[in-house]
A and B are shown apart, each in its own frame.
Chain A
Amino acid sequence: MNCIDFRRAIFTNPRQPDESARAHSRECAACRDFLEKQREMDAELFAALQVPPPDGLADRILVARGLRPGRRPWAWAVAATFVLAAGIAWVGGSLTGGDPLGREAIAHVVHEPQSLTTTHAVSNDMLPAMLADQGMKAVRALGQVTYARFCPMDGRIARHVVVRTAEGPVTLLLMPEDPAGRRRALTHVDGMSAVTIPAARGSIAIVAATASQVLAVEKALIVS
């Protein structure tokens, strides 16, 4: 791949360059810089497109369908500070090995790459409250929260949170509604690592670029 092909490919999708584009960026500093700038621009575009939705939109849709709005998800007042949204996890074919929930968690993060590039600070009060809702707490501050959304995973809603740690972004997928009884499992897929752990209520998946990052965050979480 030459520089022109690389830039065309990056303009098409800066989030998921293919292997030949990744190989080119390792060898070409100018194209690496181009990729970083384009990713920043995509993150800025994503943020700029986030027009505030009308309050109570989902409730009105459900009422209009004759479906009584269910019990509101946890801490709706806090949730109102960030958007309900999601991506159903889907990544083509290369996922192998490891725990199914870990694979799904990695696929989810790969499919929502803007979660890792967005750098807007989100209230740090939220994560301890979410952990407490699952009977857990962090024994130390994990880092600045820069992303928080509700996402559907396996038919349930997961709280998708990204924390900026000193070693880089780490994703926590908090699933209080996940049936109890999961075993701890470590998964490595597509150059990413995930550890899935049972919480006092539900499960938690921790995803990052390296196993040491996920293990460091796992170590900081205890039953409260």
Chain B
Amino acid sequence: MFLSVHSAGFETVVRAYANDVFRYLYWLCRDRNVAEDLSQETFARAWAAWEDQRDEKALKAWLFTIARNEHARLYERKRLDVDPEADLDAIMSRNDSDPALAIDIRRAFALLPEAYREPLLLQVLGGLTSAEIAAATHSTEDAVNMRLSRARKSLRQLLEGAPAPSARARERNR
């Protein structure tokens, strides 16, 4: 009985969040196969710790933090080569009402420094608060807010035709 209630709750969470976790991981690694493997790993760890998870309101932030750690773990094991423009044109979503604009946005987003891109991803895609992003990324809320602000400013400039942030700046912000 307990196991069935226990697993039913987990199933609800998997069905609700698996796609968002996959998307988050995709934008971290830019590889669908790797993102799916990491999604599996994320939920394997979540299931292992499920009994200790009590804070229903923080579930999504908890899952995204596990996903981020899984990606970092893989990154430690092997260097992932990410081509910032790879595959972006091939992503077509049924929801793209303006495919050309969607491609421009994906390209611009991919050009953002990682330090800007990740908090923006966690906020826009994950719906995490600045405090949750700070906890997930081992940063401070003020630093997260500054990165979010700069990320949107850079994205807007990129979409308006300004050059991408310099490699040095990008490296500095990693």
User: Could you tell me which A residues sit within 8 Å of B by CB distance?
Assistant: 8, 11-14, 38, 41-42, 44-54, 57-58, 60-62, 64-65, 67, 69-70, 73, 81, 83-90, 111-112, 114, 119-121, 150-152, 155-157
Q: Which of A70, A88, A119 lies at the interface centre, i.e. has the most chain B CB atoms within 10 A of its CB? A: A88
Q: Which of B15, B95, B149 lies at the interface centre, i.e. has the most chain A CB atoms within 10 A of its CB? A: B15
Does B13 lie within 8 Å of A152, measured CB to CB?
yes
Does B96 lie within 8 Å of A58, measured CB to CB?
no
Question: Interface size (B, Cβ < 8 Å)?
Answer: 60
B98 nearest in chain A by CB position: A44
Say which one of B53-61, B68-76, B77-85, B162-170 lies at the interface with A.
Answer: B53-61
CA distance A81 to B120 in the complex (A): 26
Contacts A45-B155, A46-B124, A157-B15 given; does A57 touch B20 at CB 8 Å: no
The interface residues of chain A lying within 8 Å CB-to-CB of B109 are 45, 48-49
The interface residues of chain B lying within 8 Å CB-to-CB of A8 are 149
Q: What 0/1 pattern do residues 148 to 171 of B give for CB contact below 8 A with A?
A: 111111011001000000000000
Contacts A57-B18, A69-B11, A155-B9 given; does A88 touch B23 at CB 8 Å: no
B101 contact from A14, A44, A62, A64, Cβ within 8 A: A44
Does B14 lie within 8 Å of A62, measured CB to CB?
yes
The interface residues of chain A lying within 8 Å CB-to-CB of B125 are 46, 49
